[in-house]
């Protein structure tokens, strides 16, 4: 029983990766897509919490979580991207946020000898808003939701960059 307990968070994280397969194969925002999207997102919220609660955090688990997050985000992006119809200025801000995130990763690699994904409160809030916001991609108010999300994401990116530059 103790052996199973130590692996539960990593199994939940691995399930997030597995859920990306049917999510990728499903039509964007279809019931199957939304179900996989929601379960994958929930798994991201509980795996780390369970690892800390059970006292089984590990470097492997943290890396697996980052890989699962990356696969989930890329899968969701590939499926949802064709539905996005943003004004140019929104795209430019999104690109600026992405560049800031990439620069932070590169700087962390040179400063710390490894790529560090910071799980700041601002990043978590931005991620949660992005996660929920994408469910509204086919609604009339989506453009307004996106403006709020990118405002928070910009704050998170600046916060992360400042933290990386100070380290």
Is 84:130 a contact under the CB 8 Å cutoff? Answer: no
* Helices and strands of the chain, counted as H and E runs: 6, 0
Please tell me the pTM assigned to this model.
Answer: 0.78
pLDDT tens, 11-47?
Answer: 999 999 999 999 999 999 999 999 999 999 999 889 9
pLDDT of residue 148: 96
Q: Which residue has the higher pLDDT, 97 or 115?
A: 97
Report DSSP letters for 55-121, one per residue.
Answer: T---HHHHHHHHHHHHHHHHHHHHHHGGG----HHHHHHHHHHHHHHHHHHHHHHHHHSS------H
pLDDT of residue 117: 75
What is the token pair recorded at 86?
A: 């943003």
């Amino acid at each position: 029983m103790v052996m199973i307990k130590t692996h539960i968070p990593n199994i939940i994280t691995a399930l997030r990766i597995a859920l990306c397969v049917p999510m990728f194969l499903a039509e964007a925002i279809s019931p199957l897509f939304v179900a996989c999207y929601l379960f994958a997102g929930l798994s991201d919220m509980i795996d780390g919490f369970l690892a800390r609660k059970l006292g089984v955090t590990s470097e492997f688990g943290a890396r697996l979580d980052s890989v699962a997050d990356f696969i989930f985000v890329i899968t969701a992006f590939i499926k949802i991207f064709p539905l996005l119809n943003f004004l140019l200025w929104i795209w430019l801000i999104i690109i600026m946020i992405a560049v800031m995130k990439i620069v932070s990763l590169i700087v962390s690699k040179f400063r710390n000898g490894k790529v560090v994904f910071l799980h700041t409160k601002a990043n978590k809030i931005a991620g949660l808003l992005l996660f929920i916001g994408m469910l509204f991609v086919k609604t009339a108010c989506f453009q307004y939701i996106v403006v709020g999300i990118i405002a928070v994401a910009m704050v998170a990116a600046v916060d992360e960059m400042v933290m990386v530059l100070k380290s």
